[in-house]
Amino acid sequence: MSTQPNWISPEKPIDLTEKQLLAAILDGTFSTGTSLPPERELAQSLGITRPTLRGALQRLSRDGWIQIQQGKSTIVKDYWKEGNLVMLNALSKQPEVLTPALIWNLLEVRAALAPQYTRLAFSRSAEQLIDFLNRYTDLPDTPDAYAQADQELHHQLTVLSGNPIFTLIYNGFRQISYQAGLDYFASVEARESSLEFYKGLLQDAHNHDPQSAARRTAAVMQDSLDFWQKFVRS
């Protein structure tokens, strides 16, 4: 019996157009507050049909990147002031905007939220956390292993907190959290400190002590912020 090859479907024109337009917005080719070129001109420059362009524009409008005005020019919105959680995933995939300052801002949000969702998770799901954290006592001593483990831990804590809004917010910059972790955990000292943090959380779970887990999390979040602050200032 023959097996079918694992074909990779070519990217659809509307998907490619959406990505190209979004990249142009994020790199400043189409800056916030300015008008996009007329449809005919824009379609020609992209080498696509106007229906394909309109479909891509409708997607960008739906996600809040642009404002389509009937009979008027399409405006690029100020996504830093008018944006939403959907946009964080797009921003995390654009290296030109993934600056130390942006990473620090996102980690500052995580630092504000993490003690709260940690406390809730330890209050509601200590036994599940014991099973989960047992895997964290013998991590491979590499930046990638620690970065992966750390973002998985925070995701799990948001889920076990019982408040899905925490998870939605964290998922918005989960990839950035991993990428920032690769730099942070390049330090042997950071890995050693985090290993002690994971062991401490495991003990907190055994002791059913959500307050200790929250304080412990707040301290390690501040360490991460201090690490990134030196890059922001340089």
pLDDT digits (tens, 9 = 90+) for 103-152: 888 889 999 999 999 999 999 999 999 999 999 999 999 999 999 999 99
> Which residue type sits at 82?
E
* Rounded to 5°, angle at Cα 141 from 140 and 147: 85
76 forms bridges with which residues in the sheet? Answer: 66
Q: How far apart are CA 201 and CA 36, in angstroms?
A: 51
Structure tokens at 219: 């301290």
- Domains of the chain and any CATH numbers: 13-83 (1.10.10.10), 89-233 (1.20.120.530)
* pLDDT at residue 151, rounded to an integer: 94
Give me the residues of the chain with pLDDT under 50, please: 1
* pLDDT at residue 71, rounded to an integer: 85
* pLDDT at residue 123, rounded to an integer: 97
Tally of CB atoms within 10 A around 52: 19
DSSP output for 89-148: HHHHT-TTT--HHHHHHHHHHHHHHHHHHHHHHHHH-HHHHHHHHGGGGG--SSHHHHHH
Q: How far apart are CA 49 and CA 17, in angstroms?
A: 10
Residue 67: its H or E element: strand 66-67
